[in-house]
Amino acid sequence: MIGNPKWFSIRKYGGWGVTPNCLQGWLYILAVAAPIFLLQIVPVSESLKTGITFTWALIFSVDLIDIMIRMKKDERETIHEAKAERNAMWFMIGALTIGIAYQTAMGIIKQTNEIDPVIMIALGGAMIVKTITHIYLRNK
């Protein structure tokens, strides 16, 4: 697509995604971000701003995913990334579970039955993805 995987390295510390590792990478990020910021100061309708921003962000997201897929990783980097992702997932599952327990406890105290559905969707979705992954890898 537009970006080159050689311009980026895998972000190992502080999140997911890629980090520019040369001038071309930084110029790519600037070229993607600048139109979004400049569009906000142009006097056009909010719906047009939203549409253009969404379309531009979608194009950038697809290109960024393409860059991440095309990046070369050796076996050791792949194993390290898998372990880091696993540990991050365990933390997120723990935090979501504590959130459900807290909401349940507060619901009992206040005599209401309110649990955030987003937390339930996140935990249920993670369970489904894990199950599908295990089935796929077993049959591979």
pLDDT tens digits, residue range 21-72? 899 999 999 998 898 888 888 888 888 888 988 999 899 889 888 888 888 8
Are 41 and 55 spatial neighbours (Cβ–Cβ below 8 Å)?
no
pLDDT, one tens digit per residue, over 82-108 is 887 888 888 888 888 898 889 889 888
Q: Higher model confidence: residue 78 or residue 66?
A: 66
Give the orientation angle of helix 117-139 with respect to helix 75-110, to 10 degrees.
150
Question: What is the structure's pLDDT at 92?
Answer: 87
pTM for this predicted structure = 0.56
CA distance 4 to 68: 10
Residue 114's region, left for phi above 0, alpha for psi from -120 to 50, else beta, is beta
What is the enclosing helix (H) or strand (E) of 39? helix 23-41
